[in-house]
Amino acid sequence: MKICSDPKTIETLLSFYEGDLREALKSDLSALAVQEIPAKKSAAASLLNMYLFGPEVAYVWGGVLAFSQLDIYRPYIAHSRRKSVIICKGLKGRVISKFAPKGVPVFHFEDGFTPHQYMAACEHLHTAIYATNKVDNVKYLRENPRMVHILGLHGDSDKPSSVTRLSSMYDYVLAADANATNRVLNSKLQIQADRVLVVGGSPIEGVETIKARRPIKNILYAPTWEGYQNLGNFSSLKSVAPLMQDYSATGNVLRFRPHPGTGAHDKQYKVIAKELKQVAKTKGKVADFNWSDVLIADVSGVISEYVYSRKPVVVPVDLENPKILEYINKTSIPDYCYLWDFRSVPLAEFLDSISADPLWEKRMEKRENAYFGAETQADVANLFEQKLDLCESIWKNRLMQKGYQPWMGRSEADRIRLPEDGALAELVKSVMAGETMLELRERRLVRKGGIRKRSAAALTRLGKRVSKVLS
């Protein structure tokens, strides 16, 4: 995505569209009072980006953007016929043009811009999908009551933490299949079946599939993180990492993909992961999936992602932790995954025992049920798109209840008036198409510890004084 950062150009466009923005901000589709255009030019430029682009679906992270979670939504975004935007709290220092899907603007909280307060200015924005179940999501729901709000999360996991009390505040909850649906319905949250949208599994864009059994040679170890509570600690990392190091020491090749949250609760896990990375590198999720012949993983969403490839999955089990083992046995995991008693059976011996892949048929049945027979990411994305059709219909009905006729809304050409200047008009069209973003940045120097900030002009004056002293 290209960036236009010329201050004069952006200020000209802000002046040209000031009346249009004020009119859009009068929308009574928001629970807020009339919003004003942000005082800061950088924030006003972000608002103008959002208004000109005119999104239909927002993918929301209540906290900072988790890039591994974004990968789960890339196939849906890439194959959607709707305009999508990404909204989050922060970017962890990443440059938008380096990670954003093609044609998808990214909005985040900085320089005085608060995206959740301006979403109502986008007259075609009908659905928000939340990749995490954060308390901060509440402000989006509260301030945009006409929109349809969906808890999407980031992959299909059998963990009990995938359903919490916060799940019930959304209009809908996404589920991969019948097992995931039952997990929601049996959670005692009183979420009715018609509030669960079944969309199939979440394929990672670029993951290849196999058509038949093949020898097991390349191993991918992708344990989950330790969680916030011991009862919810499904991570095998502390126990299995030494076994992986021993396996690697014998000349075997493996790759290691720790969960991004590893060590967040227990710093020891981060230390262990760092040590294992010395002998087991990663080339990126897609590359690791395609390179590997088998996945060794804990109860987490990575299992359902990997099942798409049709390759076998091994789940380490600890007989000294009966509560976790009992929980696993209550899920469908033992039906299509191999359970490895790592304290009793060496890894090489265990892999040899499953070399014929006796669970192939069961795993194919799981894949068929989880992905509804889809062979490509486009097939799965089509299921997702059907659910967005439903959400748009519900959104339109909510507007009709308030006296609107959304199906008679303005077309893209009528929605945005263009400047007479040809170059400016082409720039606006580029923003509308998601090819360019307007970006104004205040140049500042922040000393370590955030003690003091200086403007660019002040730094220039300081530099001249310093040069004079040195001369």
Backbone angles phi, psi at 390, to 5 degrees: -60, -45
74-93 pLDDT, tens digit each: 989 999 999 999 999 888 87
C-alpha triplet 136, 182, 327: angle, nearest 5°: 90
- Strands laid side by side in the 106-108 sheet: 106-108, 84-88, 57-60, 127-130, 148-151, 172-175, 196-198
In CATH terms, 2-203+377-438 corresponds, of 3.30.1490.20, 3.40.50.1820, 3.30.70.1350, 3.40.50.11720, to 3.40.50.11720
- For the ranges 178-182, 203-207, 423-427, 455-459, the one whose mean pLDDT is highest: 423-427
3-state secondary structure of 313: strand
- Residue 206, pLDDT > 60, answer yes
39-73 pLDDT, tens digit each: 899 999 999 999 999 999 999 998 888 888 888 89
CATH class of the region 219-369: alpha beta
Domain ranges of the chain: 2-203+377-438, 219-369
Q: How far apart, in whole angstroms, are the C-alpha atoms of residue 63 and residue 91?
A: 9
What region, left, alpha or beta, does residue 423 occupy, with left being phi > 0 and alpha being psi -120 to 50 degrees? alpha
Q: Quick count: other Cβ atoms within 10 Å of Cβ 210? A: 10
Q: How far apart, in whole angstroms, are the C-alpha atoms of residue 349 and residue 179?
A: 32
Single-letter code of the amino acid located at 257: R
Q: How far apart, in whole angstroms, are the C-alpha atoms of residue 186 and residue 42?
A: 47
Instruction: Judge if 2-203+377-438 and 219-369 fold alike in CATH terms.
Output: yes
Residue 457 is predicted with a pLDDT of: 52
3-state secondary structure of 131: coil
Q: Could you give the percent of the chain with pLDDT greater than 70?
A: 88
Q: How far apart, in whole angstroms, are the C-alpha atoms of residue 343 and residue 328?
A: 17
